[in-house]
Amino acid sequence: MGYEIIERPPTVDEHKSLWDAVGWGKLDTEMSEQSLANSVYGAVVVCDGKVVGMGRIVGDGAMYFYIQDVAVLPEHQKQGIGKMIVDQLLAFIKKRKYKNGIAFVGLFASHGNDKFYEQYGFKDHSPEMTGMFTVFEE
């Protein structure tokens, strides 16, 4: 199969379709529309005219970058698409970061995908540092 990566965030419908396909739970498309619009950068992978993968970057676009929403349709997984997406996102960050500055790049990996991200230098920094988050619902 021929896969092509395109530099653009997914549309709201593409985002929801991939979100649902990988089982990430309920998603309010009005909220995701705003979220997608505020992305620093995005990329989608297309096969036969259909988006089969996505990834994006959120953050301040200067020092802090957060890799978000890397997802590939289950029937297209294990084909190197996730790698294409992460390579594209990291290339953007390396190009965008200040020449003499640092770029702090964070992400949360889905259960079982730690090894995939470790190949890019991501690692668990505990116990010295701990990643934490909270979720506000309704």
Domain segments of the chain as ranges = 4-118
pLDDT at 109: 79
Answer whether 43's CB lies under 8 Å from 88's CB.
yes
For residues 45-52, give the mean pLDDT: 97
pLDDT at 84: 97
Percent of the chain exceeding pLDDT 90 equals 72
How far does Cα 37 stand from its chain's mean position? 14
pLDDT at 115: 82
Sequence-distant (≥ 6) Cβ neighbours of residue 98 within 8 angstroms: 62, 63
- Which has the higher per-residue pLDDT, 119 or 80? 80
Please state which CATH class domain 4-118 belongs to. alpha beta
For residues 13-26, give the mean pLDDT: 96
pLDDT at 126: 81
Please compute, for residue 96, the number of CA atoms within 13 A of its CA located in the half-sphere on the CB side. 20
Q: What does pLDDT average to over the chain?
A: 92
Query: In the predicted model, is pLDDT for residue 138 greater than 70?
Result: no
pLDDT at 125: 79
Query: In the predicted model, is pLDDT for residue 112 greater than 80?
Result: no
Query: In the predicted model, is pLDDT for residue 45 greater than 80?
Result: yes
- Phi, then psi, of 53 in degrees rounded to 5: -160, 160
